[in-house]
Chain A
Amino acid sequence: MELLLNLMINGLATGMLIFLLAAGLTLIFGLMDVLNFAHGGLFAWGAYSSVWFYALTDSFVVAILGAIVTGIILGFITEKLIITPVYGNHIQQILITLGFMLVLTELLKVVFGPNQIPAKTPPYLAGSWEIGDVIIIKYRVFIIVVGFLIFGIFQYILKKTKIGLIVRAGVMNKEMVQTLGINIKNVFLYVFIAGAALAALGGALMAPYSGVIYAEMGMEFAILGFIVVVIGGMGSFPGSLLAAILVGLAGSFMAYYVPSLSLAVNMMLMAVVLIFRPQGLFKAKG
């Protein structure tokens, strides 16, 4: 019972981190047909900047905010310098975002050094609760709460605000949105920045969870993000949450019972979904 619960909490927490990465990917893809292969780089930059800010200020809140600001700045730069120049050409887009991923990763090593860096958990989130004989690690619960909170906020924005309405309409038919007088390029910039900020937040939350950060973590998580986006259905925000939880749980249970297959299972899941149900398991519906 305790094992099962812990595996679930573990899976949910990992799932939430993947969700934060995948949410931006899926919206950016849905809205603009852009698959950002550099998204994992933003995740890794979020992790590094949060650790850096944490060491500097000794405040975890500042660390998180710092990571988000980093994400916003990098998101703005990426959209303006990398995405816009090749907009509309899929091949160039795939190539250039992968190239930017390489640059972001290497730049981390230039700035912070090539070695792994340890990441601390803030004292008030460290440790665990004991309920009866069940031990629950606080920080994991914290990640899950933040994940659901973010999902709630974004779901509210998407469903209840004008900009959210436009984003959802744009995912369905961006040409029509333009003919209704909306500058879709601005909308896309906002969405891209929001996606980048979410990825950076994911990275920031990831750091204390794994205890160490390293530059390649971006690519590793990006692959999980792609898997989630494919399973959840490109462009579907709720789909990406469900798929992320699925992938997180699968990873956590597989890692315990059949550790050698944990990554392989997710990749095979994605391959099967792509080949037999390319629209994703959960139909994209805004």
Chain B
Amino acid sequence: MTSKYQWNNIFLTLIAIVLFIFPFVADSRTWTILLTQIFIFSILAMSYDILLGYTGIVSFGHAMFFGMGAYTTAVMLDRMEPTIGVFVLSIATGMLLAGAVSFIVGLMTLRLKSHFFAMLTLAVSGLFLVLAEKWRTLTSGNDGFTFRAPEFFKDRMVFYLVTLVCLVVVYLLLRRFVQSPMGHVLVAVRENEQRTKSLGFKTLHYKVIASVVAGVVASLAGSLYAVSLRFVNTSVLTMDITLDALLMTIIGGVGTLIGPIIGAGVIELSQHYLSGLAKEYPIFERWIIFFGIVYILAVIFFPSGIVGTVRQALHKRKKPAVLEKSSSGTEGL
């Protein structure tokens, strides 16, 4: 077990090193931007998986935390001054805001059964979207606004490295989180909330903690996203963002941290490739439909996603499949 775990670590470290060296070796603007995008969405998808994969909660409102981060950073950089200091401060503010909102919303709604919770998160994030559209003095509504990013990020490569560092740090922190006793309780909640409750755990508290962690991390992803575009509009709060996180998590592999990262890579890359094809074949303008179909098939046939399925194939034994009712622990890979 230990050797396998170490092997995993070596492997991941190698990949991280390659990614760090990459921009120095390959001078490709397209790839730098694409990979930056992948890192940002990896962070978002990992945060989503804390809810879906580790705690077994389906939220349809994750975009609101992403959007909170994006707007906080955009507004602060725009209204104050485009410096690193303000950037860091805006990230902290966004996280604080997202943490507070997810705490309050979670406390009120996580008691509800899965259907109701999914529906309510859909509505609450809809409210935030409406708010952003109406509060034009702050957000400029659907038109959005451009703003200046800190001078330091002018070089795409620097921003690439910053997002990569963020990704690695978030990954390591979340891994500690899911491997901590707290993380094990979350998995227990996912497997059987009633039983966990009867063992004396206040499951609502744990679910709220999971939702705060997920909200805070999503807000970080939103902040980085806004800076990467130097523009923000209400699209950061739409269902599409939640759907992206959902697709990446499901296709990559729920209940793991590496799964969402792979999912983000697969989806961003194929999106890039497919929209390239769209110039020749208009059908590919609707590339999302392919993901929709793959996603449905994944939910039915490969509920443990790419990572889970590969692992099962490698280990030749039944491994936890979060979406299945089977139960056993989950490694925090």
Which residues of A pack against B, CB within 8 Å?
A: 29, 33, 35, 37, 82, 85-86, 89-92, 94-96, 98-100, 102-103, 106-107, 109-110, 114, 219, 223, 226-227, 230, 260, 263-264, 267-268, 270-271, 274-275, 278
A-B contact pairs, 5 of them (CB 8 A): A92-B303, A96-B300, A98-B60, A98-B243, A230-B116
| Contact partners of A103 in chain B: CB under 8 A | 289, 292-293, 296
| Among B74-82, B117-125, B156-164, the stretch in contact with A | B117-125
Q: Please state if A86 and B289 are interface contacts (CB–CB under 8 Å).
A: no
Residue B250, interface by CB 8 Å: yes
Closest Cβ neighbor of B115 among chain A residues: A35
Residue of A nearest to B124 (CB): A271
Minimum CB distance partner of A88 in chain B: B325
| Closest Cβ neighbor of A85 among chain B residues | B300
Are B246 and A95 in contact (CB-based, < 8 A)?
yes
Pair A90/B300 contact, Cβ less than 8 Å: no
**A226:B123 contact, CB within 8 angstroms:** yes
9 closest A-B pairs by beta carbon, nearest first, are A103-B292, A106-B289, A35-B115, A102-B292, A267-B123, A99-B295, A96-B299, A90-B114, A99-B296
User: Is there contact, CB below 8 Å, between B115 and A90?
Assistant: yes
User: Does B195 interact with chain A (Cβ within 8 Å)?
Assistant: no
> Nearest Cβ in chain A — how far from B43, in angstroms?
21
Assess the A91–B120 pair: CB atoms within 8 A: no
Encoded as 1 (CB less than 8 Å from any A CB) or 0, chain B from 234 to 265 comes to 00000100010010001000000000000000
A270 x B120 contact (CB < 8 A)? yes
A98-B60, A223-B126, A275-B108 are known contacts; what are 17 more A-B pairs with Cβ within 8 Å? A33-B115, A35-B119, A82-B296, A86-B299, A89-B323, A91-B58, A95-B246, A95-B250, A96-B300, A98-B246, A100-B292, A102-B292, A102-B295, A106-B289, A114-B285, A223-B123, A268-B127
Is B114 within 8 A of A223, CB to CB?
A: no
Chain A residues closer than 8 Å to B126, beta-carbon distance: 223, 263, 267
Known contacts A91-B56, A99-B292, A107-B289, A271 near B120 by CB under 8 Å: yes
Asked, given contacts A92-B303, A96-B300, A109-B286, whether A274 binds B58 with beta carbons under 8 Å apart, the answer is no
